[in-house]
Amino acid sequence: MLLHIPQVLTPDELAYCRRVLDSTAWIDGKVTAGDQSAKAKVNLQVPQSSDASRELGTLVLRALARSDAFTSAALPLRVFPPLFNRYDTGMYFDAHVDNAIRPDPETGFRVRTDVSSTLFLTGPEEYDGGELVIQDTYGTHSVKLPAGDLVLYPSTSLHSVRLITRGSRWASFFWTQSMVKDDGCRTILYEFDRSIMAARQSLPDSNPAVLGLTSTYHNLVRRWSEL
């Protein structure tokens, strides 16, 4: 499932992120790439251990916690601490697949990367190129979203960032270990959850149809989840 979630960050949160990032140091983005991906990656990144990365990562996690769409789609068990990258003119990231396992340097926990997310911090009018290109079983998708919006997609997808030809593209990126490992099952559950919410707009929660849908949803989560 590939999903666009609008306005994950408020305008104030977005402005604060940009102020902090504008005054912080950036390093070569290869530090978080695997051996093969590092050869395809030309960008900059905020050091993961920096105060700026920790502070803004916490801000992003708070924003995710209030996003019903993110919770419904990702069914998060663990979220890898959000990172921050930057593509200036001439920078790019060729096609690659994200590492299957990411060790969290703060806790030592290993996170299985089921869901990848990019949270855009600059708007499409601020740069040319820089599209996130995602290849899945339904074809190739080019993603370039407004600042504050997020796209999530299966970490198994081959993806790339096109060459920047003008301006600068800033984003937060991170991975989620889902309670439901299989993307097909997560997609069914997401669509099921959306249908329940739609039904509740016109029917009371005590209606047998709503109760039946809700019960089936939770029983499917119980059957498919891995904790």
- Name the residue among 60, 14, 35 with its Cα closest to residue 173: 60
Instruction: Give the pLDDT confidence score for residue 218 in this predicted structure.
Output: 98
Query: Looking at residues 108-113, what average pLDDT do you find?
Result: 94
Backbone torsions φ then ψ of 28, nearest 5 degrees: -60, 130
Residues 44-61 pLDDT 10s: 999 999 999 999 999 999
* Closest residue by Cα to residue 180 from 151, 223, 116, 150: 223
d(CA 113, CA 221): 19
pLDDT at res. 220: 98
Q: Find the mean pLDDT for residues 104-123.
A: 94
Residue 35 is predicted with a pLDDT of 64
Query: Using 50, 70 and 90 to split pLDDT, how confident is the model at 179?
Result: very high
pLDDT exceeds 80 at position 10 = yes
Pull the structure tokens for residue 76.
Answer: 């998060």
The average pLDDT across 138-154 equals 96
Contacts of 3-7 with CB under 8 Å at 24 or more apart are 3/69, 3/73, 3/151, 3/152, 3/153, 3/190, 4/143, 4/145, 4/149, 4/150, 4/151, 5/67, 5/69, 5/70, 5/73, 5/149, 5/150, 5/151, 5/152, 6/146, 6/148, 6/149, 7/148, 7/149
* Model confidence pLDDT, tens digit, residues 182-212: 999 999 999 999 999 999 999 999 999 999 9
CATH topology of domain 3-178: Jelly Rolls (2.60.120)
